[in-house]
Amino acid sequence: MVTVVTRVRIKDGQAEEWDSTFGERARAAREQDGFVFVQLCRPQDAPDERVVVGSWQTRENWEQWHDDPAFRETRERLEHVDDERARSDWYDVVVEERA
């Protein structure tokens, strides 16, 4: 399993639209092969920033999702309100514990 962490800064006044659009993307991702989970987080001290934490069975599953029309459509809408290009970091999951 792999986890990708993406950091995004949102243009002033666009956070509500960005969050709503990302919610659509997250619901669509649930139908994809290899999807494990996704979280959209807002730093407590940075209301116009977002951190996306997503886990997939393989990086290839994630790449296939990026070719899906639902992903591409939300990408265009999200990039319209991003203040700067997102930065993503990849991690191999070593230990996972769930409630």
Taking only the tens place, the pLDDT of each residue in 2-38 is 999 999 999 888 899 999 999 999 999 999 999 999 9
- The number of domains in the chain is 1
Please, which residues bridge with residue 38 across strands?
A: 54
For 20, the domain range is 2-48+56-92
Given a contact cutoff of 8 angstroms between Cβ atoms, the answer to whether 11 and 83 are in contact is: yes
pTM summary value: 0.83
Inside any domain, residue 19: yes
In a domain, 9, yes or no: yes
Q: What is the CATH number of the domain that holds 16?
A: 3.30.70.100
Question: Do the domain assignments include residue 99?
Answer: no
Residue 16 belongs to a domain: yes
Strand partners for 52: 6, 40
pLDDT in tens, 53-83: 999 999 999 999 989 888 888 887 777 666 5
